[in-house]
């Protein structure tokens, strides 16, 4: 058979063919035919010899190609030939070492894990047992003058009487609260740095990309040092939250959305990139029937703004108006007909916030129960969320704000000088 597996190079002929002309070499077509016995014998031998040469050469070429392809394919996946960088045609090649992505996960986890601690919040002063305690996580971010500083969530340390941290090696240390901020849900603790791991390296959360691999390290359900992994599902998700946990959304939190598994106790732990840098603080998840892979972390760039303020002042200072309110059109706690009738609002007023209590600057300016705030400085205010965002984003301590509101059905305005919130 020939190189292509057909009869083009076959030396065999069929006996059924007749010579077309005696004394001459008969042409063999792909369909077959035989040489006449009167054909020129010299030429027949020459044709046979040429055919053999073609077959031999074809076989050699085929063997060379096969060996070359096999040697290339059989190279290890981590060693691929690169062109000579110098371009000198010297025939030499360089080898690129491709790093196993799982090795990067292992290395990043090993680097950050000693910096992540478990936090035990003893909510009763009479006992240090685990029965009346809450568990969370924290990240060592600074070691200075014999102290280690740990960042965590506000809700992890809320209501604490005594605080302890537990290292990955099981050592327990007493901790003190440096400061906390309910709005950002961040708190800072301090403790003696003896026996504690190195401070974690802080990353730039603004450089995160969707699809990027991240790790969550923390203390879920008391299982300290637990590692899970996933990807960044969304880099800057805005979630409504209830600051005082009353079911009414009164703030919006900017978070990183991931599908890395977190559970109760992961709060305050580290979200880590593959370079071993902390890019977020794990804070919450959506837990409901049929819901999976929705976890959230506070971006590290936002966390550090709060941390710096807590280290400096023990708190985050924000402008304070002094009103406790409820939304006029809150779907979760709607006002009944009698309550609306007591407000004596005009029919066109269907949104705003009702003052339940006035103190501090608002009280000093004459505001009181059942005033319905509708505008700040001419900008419409429809909810407590609008009220807070306007104050925190557009005003500072010492500024004066013009408040438009309805009292007993009449539109009124008052100027209020904002102060720092009292302790």
* Catalytic-labelled residue, pool 115, 137, 267, 404: 267
Which residues are 308's β-sheet partners? none
- The yes-or-no answer on residue 267 being catalytic is yes
Residues near 93 by beta carbon (within 8 Å), at least 6 away in sequence: 81, 82, 83, 84
CA 301 to chain centre: 14
Task: Identify the CA nearest to 181 among candidates 313, 73, 68.
Answer: 313
* Catalytic-labelled residue, pool 181, 185, 273, 327: 185
- The yes-or-no answer on residue 154 being catalytic is no
* Catalytic-labelled residue, pool 154, 155, 309, 383: 155
Q: Are 216 and 230 in contact (CB under 8 A)?
A: yes
- Counting Cα atoms < 13 Å in the Cβ hemisphere of 10 gives 16
d(CA 149, CA 166): 14
d(CA 252, CA 257): 14
d(CA 328, CA 92): 78
Two structure tokens written together for 156: 């992890």
- The yes-or-no answer on residue 155 being catalytic is yes
132 backbone dihedrals φ, ψ, rounded to 5°: -105, 30
Q: Are 152 and 187 in contact (CB under 8 A)?
A: yes
CA 191 to chain centre: 29
Number of other residues whose CB lies within 10 A of the CB of residue 110: 11
Catalytic residues: 155, 185, 267
């Amino acid at each position: 058979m020939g190189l292509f597996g057909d009869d083009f190079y076959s030396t065999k002929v069929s006996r059924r063919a007749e010579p077309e002309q005696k004394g001459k070499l008969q042409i063999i077509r792909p369909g077959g035919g035989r040489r006449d016995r009167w054909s020129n014998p010299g030429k027949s031998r020459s044709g046979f010899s040429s055919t053999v040469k073609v077959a031999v050469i074809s076989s050699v070429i085929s063997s060379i190609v096969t060996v070359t392809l096999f040697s290339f394919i059989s190279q290890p996946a981590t060693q691929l030939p690169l062109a000579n960088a110098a371009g000198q045609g010297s025939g030499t090649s360089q080898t690129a070492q491709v790093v196993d992505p799982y090795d990067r996960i292992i290395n990043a986890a090993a680097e950050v894990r000693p910096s992540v601690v478990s936090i035990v919040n003893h909510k009763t002063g009479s006992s240090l047992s685990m029965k009346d305690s809450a568990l969370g996580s924290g990240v060592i971010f600074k070691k200075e003058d014999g102290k280690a500083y740990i960042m965590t969530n506000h809700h992890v340390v809320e209501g604490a009487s005594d605080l302890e941290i537990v290292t990955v090696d099981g050592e327990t240390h007493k901790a003190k609260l440096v400061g906390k901020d309910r709005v950002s849900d961040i708190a800072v603790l301090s403790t003696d740095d003896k026996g504690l791991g190195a401070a974690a390296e802080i990353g730039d959360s603004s450089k995160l990309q969707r699809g990027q691999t991240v790790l969550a390290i923390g203390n879920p359900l008391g299982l300290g040092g637990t590692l899970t992994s996933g990807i960044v599902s969304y880099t800057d998700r805005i979630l409504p939250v209830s600051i005082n946990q009353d079911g009414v959304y009164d703030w919006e939190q900017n978070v990183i959305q991931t599908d890395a598994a977190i559970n109760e106790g992961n709060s305050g732990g580290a979200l880590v990139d593959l370079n071993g840098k902390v890019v977020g603080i794990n804070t919450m998840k959506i837990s409901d029937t049929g819901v999976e892979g929705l976890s959230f972390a506070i971006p590290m760039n936002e966390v550090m703004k709060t941390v710096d303020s807590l280290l400096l002042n023990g708190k985050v200072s924000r402008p304070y108006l002094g009103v406790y309110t409820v939304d006029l059109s809150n779907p979760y706690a709607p006002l009944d007909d009698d309550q609306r009738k007591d407000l004596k609002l005009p029919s066109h007023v269907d949104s705003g916030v009702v003052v339940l209590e006035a103190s501090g600057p608002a009280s000093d300016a004459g505001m009181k129960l059942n005033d319905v705030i509708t505008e700040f400085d001419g900008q419409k205010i429809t909810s407590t969320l609008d009220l807070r965002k306007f104050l925190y984003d557009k005003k500072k301590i010492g500024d004066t704000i013009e408040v438009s509101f309805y009292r007993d059905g009449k539109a009124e305005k008052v100027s209020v000088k904002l102060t720092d919130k009292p302790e």
